[in-house]
Amino acid sequence: MSAEDSQRVRVIEAHQELIAHVEHGSSRMKALSAATVVVAALLAASYAYQIAYPLLSGRAEVTVNLTSPFNVAVELFVLALSLAWLLIGLQDYTFAQKLSRAIGRARAEEKTLEERITG
């Protein structure tokens, strides 16, 4: 085996390791994104309920004044943060899905190329 062939083999092996690393990271990213989406959706629903409850039930006071402008402002702020978190989680999940599909296509192309070369 010549030095050039040896270098090609090392490049191919490094490429395989990189693809395996990206695939592993992609699956981890999808799992974390899914968990983020679930948590953010629960938080958003919880805060939306906290805002709507006093308005829908007609009950303005429990232990604190739920219709206090300060309390409503804080709840709206936290609701906005949780909705932003939800959006980021959905975008990450979508990116991870696209990355997985692109890796699958690259693997398929690599396999057809390997079949053409070997035989």
Q: Are the C-beta atoms of 44 and 76 separated by less than 8 Å?
A: no
- SS3 label, residue 45: helix
pTM for this one?
Answer: 0.54
DSSP lists the bridge partners of residue 61 as 65
Q: Would you say 60 and 54 are in contact if contact means Cβ atoms under 8 Å apart?
A: yes
pLDDT higher for 100 or 72?
72
Give the three-state DSSP class for 19.
helix
Under a CB-based contact definition with an 8 Å cutoff, are residues 84 and 39 in contact?
no
23-77 pLDDT per residue, tens:
777 777 777 778 888 888 888 898 889 889 888 888 877 677 888 899 889 889 8
User: Which residues lie below 8 Å from residue 42, measured CB to CB, with a gap of 6+?
Assistant: none
Greatest distance between any 2 Cα atoms in the chain: 84
